[in-house]
Structure 1
Amino acid sequence: MTSTTTTQFRVTPARVLRSEWHKLWTVRSSWITMLTGAVLVLGVGLLMGATYESGGGDSDVDTVVLVLYGTQLGGVCLAVLGILVTAGEYTTGLIRASLTAVPRRLPVLWAKATVFTATVFTLSLLTALLTFEVAQAFLADTDQAASLSDPGVLRAVAGNAAGTTLLAVLALGLGAALRSVAGGIGAFIGGVMVLPEVLGILPYDVMETVVRYFPTQAAGALGTATPIPGAASPGAALLALTLWAAAALAVPAWLLKRRDV
């Protein structure tokens, strides 16, 4: 009887993942935020497609960038959600129950990151594919007409989703490290979105090289079908963004082992 009871309530990776999946989808703000992000991407894509005219000021803009311009807004929503997923538990005190249920602690962080990454990437990819196809219905007779089979287009659409996802995971790591929703949002806006823009205007050639591997710039390089002059290659951009996200998760992992809560 004791053995059966122990097996029934044993902590396993699958059960921790199931718990984090349940927490993500039963909190109303989670799916509202995800829906808002998807609607922003789709809405801006529809607007860009419906109002575009051949030969206008955007004729030289990469087609994928043009139709997925709303990713900049939708990505902020998903980044905020990443911060809420981790820092929100510290704010409400729910993290104590989570760490009591999983005494080894680190599986909680890995499960959160895994569930969040899979959810955000799936949502981002489906939204990007839908937005591209719907926008192209308006762009069919313009100089921005394209299809997913064109060289670099599908890679760019998938890269857009990957970039959005890794930025959101980076935000999740910031929330877990700072344990404050306001602090996480401030760090993401200031450190990830604003800092590279400030560094980019400094009159030093080395800054140009450094900034191209910052998170937002790397994500931008991933989402273009044609190479951007002066930007990192898609492979280098993906590697840089993955390392940023991994570093953002490594800090809270270290803190979880060092602190009581």
Structure 2
Amino acid sequence: MSTAVAPTTRHTSLGHLTFPRVVRSEWIKFRSLRSTFWTYAIVLILGLGITTLVSFSIPESVIGQMPPSARSSFVMSAASFGLLFGQLAVAVLGVLVISGEYSTGMIRSSFAAVPRRTPVFVAKAIVLFVCSFVVGVVVTAAGYAIAAPVLSGKGLDADFTQGTAWAILGAGLYLGLVSVFALGLGTILRAAAGGIAAALGVVFLLPIIVNIVNSLTDIEWLKHVPEYLISTAGQALAGGTNADFEPWQNVLIVAVWTAVSFVVGAVFLKRRDA
């Protein structure tokens, strides 16, 4: 008497994990974090709040004393003034996206599903960049919509030009890249406290330290160091200036900082145990 064996069916669709599915998984995790909502809310509130405060508080007498070159760019500068604080917020978020998984142990589940690890890291970077870019563009565009009518009533030219559009996109690009830069640092250091300290140190404290050293010394090459810092180039992308650099050069500076952090983070992610 023979025993019939029921055929087994392989659900290959469950075992075939594609990169779009990894991205979708990271998006679900990203949007479920409380820190995501609160970080972007802070960027929105601070960005629009500071722009509104600057636009309404600056007197017409000060505007009248501005040179023509400063008058033409001041509207965009006011619209992107909150970027100084927005970059700090998204830098913290970039660190928390990876360090939070290490602290809870969820990173081991991610790597169990995707043993190659790199797709997980790339997917995190894509989700983080796209979300930060969109928020940066929205906040800066809304800031311009607030600053333009207020400052035009005080005698400033607030016409929307091609340069204005590029500055709004540049602000979003910078927030997106600086968040990925912080993601790389968080992956290297793993700990939230260390990653946040490193990210804020590079973005916020490093320019201050370099300027202090420049004021105390007379080293010629050191005077050009601020031009190559990620925050200086990022502010230039949002309509500011950075020496005589062209916009593409400022993009390159920010991209190099981001690429170095991201590549080193990816190497550490592959070589160390979870």
The TM-score with structure 1 as length reference comes to 0.91
- Candidates 129, 143, 146, aligned match of 2:155: 143
Instruction: Name the counterpart of 1:123.
Output: 135
Q: What CA distance in whole angstroms lies between the structure 2 residues aligned with 1:223 and 1:99?
A: 37
Q: What CA distance in whole angstroms lies between the structure 2 residues aligned with 1:220 and 1:157?
A: 11
Instruction: Name the counterpart of 1:102.
Output: 114
Instruction: Name the counterpart of 1:192.
Output: 203
Deviation for aligned residue 1:127: 1.2
What is the Cα-based RMSD across aligned positions, in Å? 2.0
Instruction: Name the counterpart of 1:27.
Output: 33
User: What letter corresponds to residue 219 of structure 1 in structure 2?
Assistant: G
1:168 aligns with 2:179: yes
Instruction: Name the counterpart of 1:77.
Output: 89
3-state SS in 1 of match to 2:62: coil
User: What letter corresponds to residue 204 of structure 2 in structure 1?
Assistant: M
Instruction: Name the counterpart of 2:234.
Output: 219
Instruction: Name the counterpart of 2:168.
Output: 157
Which structure has the larger Rg over C-alpha atoms? 2
Distance change (3 Å), C-alpha of 1:4 and 1:55: farther
Unpaired runs of 5+ residues, structure 1, are none
CA contact (8 A) 2:187 2:268 kept: no
CA contact (8 A) 2:111 2:117 kept: yes
Instruction: Name the counterpart of 1:11.
Output: 17
User: What letter corresponds to residue 79 of structure 1 in structure 2?
Assistant: A
Instruction: Name the counterpart of 2:78.
Output: 66
Instruction: Name the counterpart of 1:245.
Output: 258
Q: What CA distance in whole angstroms lies between the structure 2 residues aligned with 1:3 and 1:144?
A: 71
CA contact (8 A) 2:133 2:174 kept: no
CA contact (8 A) 2:88 2:203 kept: no
Q: What CA distance in whole angstroms lies between the structure 2 residues aligned with 1:249 and 1:2?
A: 43
Q: How many equivalent residue pairs?
A: 258
Moved over 6 A (4+): none
Distance change (3 Å), C-alpha of 1:93 and 1:179: same
3-state SS in 2 of match to 1:152: helix
Deviation for aligned residue 1:36: 1.4
1:235 aligns with 2:248: yes
Q: What CA distance in whole angstroms lies between the structure 2 residues aligned with 1:215 and 1:170?
A: 10
Which of 152-161 and 116-125 deviates more?
Answer: 152-161
CA contact (8 A) 1:87 1:180 kept: yes
CA contact (8 A) 2:182 2:195 kept: yes
Q: What CA distance in whole angstroms lies between the structure 2 residues aligned with 1:148 and 1:179?
A: 43
Deviation for aligned residue 1:220: 1.5
Q: What CA distance in whole angstroms lies between the structure 2 residues aligned with 1:172 and 1:47?
A: 32
Deviation for aligned residue 1:12: 0.9
Deviation for aligned residue 1:96: 0.9
Deviation for aligned residue 1:121: 0.3
Which digits, 9 at most, give the CA deviation of each residue in 1:27-82, with x for residues without a partner? 12211211111111011111112223223179446321122211111221111111
Distance change (3 Å), C-alpha of 1:260 and 1:160: same
Q: What CA distance in whole angstroms lies between the structure 1 residues aligned with 2:55 and 2:226?
A: 31
Which of 110-119 and 87-96 deviates more?
Answer: 87-96
3-state SS in 2 of match to 1:56: helix
Distance change (3 Å), C-alpha of 1:3 and 1:125: farther
3-state SS in 1 of match to 2:47: helix
- Candidates 70, 80, 100, aligned match of 1:88: 100
User: What letter corresponds to residue 221 of structure 1 in structure 2?
Assistant: A
